[in-house]
Amino acid sequence: MEKIDPRQSLKELYAPSAKDVTEVVVPPLRFLMIDGDGGPDSAAYREAVESLFALAYGVKFAVKRQASVDFRVMPLECLWWADDYSVFLTGDRESWRWTAMIMQPEPVTAELVEQVREQVAAKKKLPALDQVRFETFEEGRAAQILYVGPYADEGPTIQRLHQFIADRGGSLTGKHHEIYLNDPSRTAPEKLKTILRQPFV
């Protein structure tokens, strides 16, 4: 059986330095994606993440059965934005907007995703499952860094990211992107690892 690990083949994107901000060019990648509003502690976000992982693991096992390819399920990622970005400073989480997503490797197809969606829906009631889509997402030029610590203390590291872009004469574009490398329910806050990424032009 063939085994693939997208985190290794895309190491530049999924294993950045924690010391220095680096510039990357993110190619088109395919994701399971779902949109929503509110903070990460909202019911909508929890339901979205549960549906994403249920579908992602279902797809993994389907590929393993049908194509004899085993791959590692990728980490949860999230794009964050708001109509008024000051809400990220004031703590008004109800105004936050997001797209939660999990990257899918080459063997995964839209047809397979739909097959697995039906199977997952038959086994478990997941209110957000029908909202998940399979889509290509391209960020292009971006700056990123690995942040270690509580999510609430990301601010100074995000400022470093933005300063890196400003020092190169760049302008922020797209949405603030976070990639969560470990499970917050099983990891001490000070040991959480999050890739912070910001597209720019």
**pLDDT of 108 above 80:** yes
| Within-domain flag for 16 | yes
Residue where a domain terminates, one of 137, 167, 187: 137
pLDDT of residue 160: 93
- Which of 110, 137, 164 is at the close of a domain? 137
Q: What is the DSSP letter of 18?
A: S
Shared domain for 177 and 157, answered yes or no, is yes
Q: Are residues 103 and 150 in the same domain?
A: no
Same domain, 187 and 198: yes
Would you say residue 5 lies in a domain? no
Do 112 and 71 share a structural domain?
A: yes
Is residue 108 within 8 A of residue 55, CB to CB? The reply is no
pLDDT digits (tens, 9 = 90+) for 12-40: 999 999 999 999 999 999 999 999 999 89
Question: Does any domain span residue 3?
Answer: no
pLDDT of residue 152: 87
Q: Which helix (H) or strand (E) holds 75?
A: none
d(CA 119, CA 8): 30
In this structure, is residue 72 part of a structural domain?
yes
pTM of the full predicted structure?
A: 0.94
Mean pLDDT for all residues in the chain:
93
Provide the number of structural domains found in the chain.
Answer: 2
Is pLDDT at 91 greater than 80 in this prediction? no
**Residue 47 sits in the same domain as residue 69:** yes
* Cβ pair 105, 47 in contact under 8 A: no
- The pLDDT tens digits for 119-178 are 999 999 999 999 999 999 999 999 999 999 999 899 899 999 999 999 999 999 999 999
Do 129 and 174 have their domain in common? no
CATH number of the domain encompassing residue 168:
3.20.80.10
Which range marks the domain in which residue 193 is found? 10-27+139-201
Are 151 and 195 within one domain?
Answer: yes
Coil, helix or strand for 16? coil
At 84 the pLDDT is 76
In a domain? residue 1? no
CB 81 within 8 A of CB 176: yes
